[in-house]
Amino acid sequence: MIHELSSTNEDDTEIDLRPTELVIIIVETIEKIYKLINNGVYRCDFSTQQKTYDAASKDVLVKVNSILKTQPNLCGNVLTETDLYLLPTLL
């Protein structure tokens, strides 16, 4: 289950990582990240040959780059929980 994340900064301004108008896009994007990107990282981890690893890692990077080359964040121009969800996978 995905929980709503929010935080406050020093100015007491709330940061909404799950804006109501983007909830559907956020949920769909997180599902895509899990299916396409996280599983690609697992394929890298379990590969036993360099050729297999290279193919899996390229696949992951191509997917991420295809999204981020047209917009600054995964769900458009605003930072959302999807960006934070992807971060550990990329690290």
Q: Given this model, what pLDDT does residue 60 score?
A: 80
Q: What pLDDT digit, counting tens, does each position of 46-67 carry?
A: 889 999 888 888 878 888 888 8
Q: Given this model, what pLDDT does residue 17 score?
A: 94
- Report residue 1's pLDDT band, with 50, 70 and 90 as the boundaries: very low
Q: 85: Cβ–Cβ under 8 A, 6 or more apart, which residues?
A: 30, 33
- Amino acid at position 16, single letter: D
Question: 0.75 exceeded by the pTM?
Answer: no
Question: Hey, what CATH topology would domain 19-90 get?
Answer: Glutathione S-transferase Yfyf (Class Pi); Chain A, domain 2 (1.20.1050)
Percent of the chain with pLDDT over 70: 87
Instruction: Tell me the pairing of strands 6-8 and 14-16.
Output: antiparallel
Q: Given this model, what pLDDT does residue 73 score?
A: 92
| Biggest alpha carbon–alpha carbon distance for the chain | 51
Domain ranges of the chain: 19-90
